[in-house]
Amino acid sequence: MRIGSALAIAVLLVGCGGDGGESLGPAPPDLNGSWAFNWTNMNGTIVGLGSFSCSITGVNATLTQVDNTFSGQINGDWTMTCIAGGQTETMTASGGVISNGVISGYRVSFSMATDDASQTGTISGNSMSGQATWRVDFGAPYGIVVVRGNWSAVRTQATAAAEVQLPAAKAGRLTGTMAAAIAGS
């Protein structure tokens, strides 16, 4: 009977992970790879000019994660469309960086090119989403404008990184200034 009892206890301990150690919990989400980002309802008000709303689409980025931090490179072209005073302006720009990325459980935060363009949100499998708050300096006489909205991203297949280029110099003041903040120029 002793051998049978000892064997039963050994099987029970092995089956329950009875190694005496504590569980480390689930591994942090893995953000390594290619992601497609979009921003919507990025709203702000410029004193003297009124309110505006922008969307940003086609932001493809390659993220690199180390432990609970990450950074990234925006690859290729992306588009920004802004509506202000009944007029719509669209521009295409290239490149940019994602910096200061932090993962805490399933929460994520990062910056677009500057600490003044922050995103916070949650990770769920192969998607992320949340809120964005940007401080954009439109220069005199308008100054710094706070722009808030939503962002989302989905994991895509891996793609080769493209050469980073700065936004077009002939972009309109509104989209050009915001695009420059994203691209880090």
Q: How far is C-alpha 155 from the geometric centre of its chain's CA atoms?
A: 11
Q: Which two tokens stand for residue 61?
A: 């980025």
Domain boundaries along the sequence of the chain: 28-183
Low-confidence ranges of the chain (pLDDT < 70): 1-26, 157-185
Q: What is the pLDDT of residue 160?
A: 38
pTM listed for this prediction: 0.73
pLDDT at 107: 97
* DSSP conformation class of 137: E
Spatial distance between the Cα atoms of 149 and 170, rounded to a whole number of angstroms: 26
DSSP code, position 88 = E
- What is the distance between the alpha carbons of residues 45 and 53, in angstroms, rounded to a whole number? 9
Token output for 181: 């903040």
Which pLDDT belongs to residue 8? Answer: 38
Q: What is the pLDDT of residue 157?
A: 57
DSSP 17: T
Q: What CATH code would you report for 28-183?
A: 2.40.160
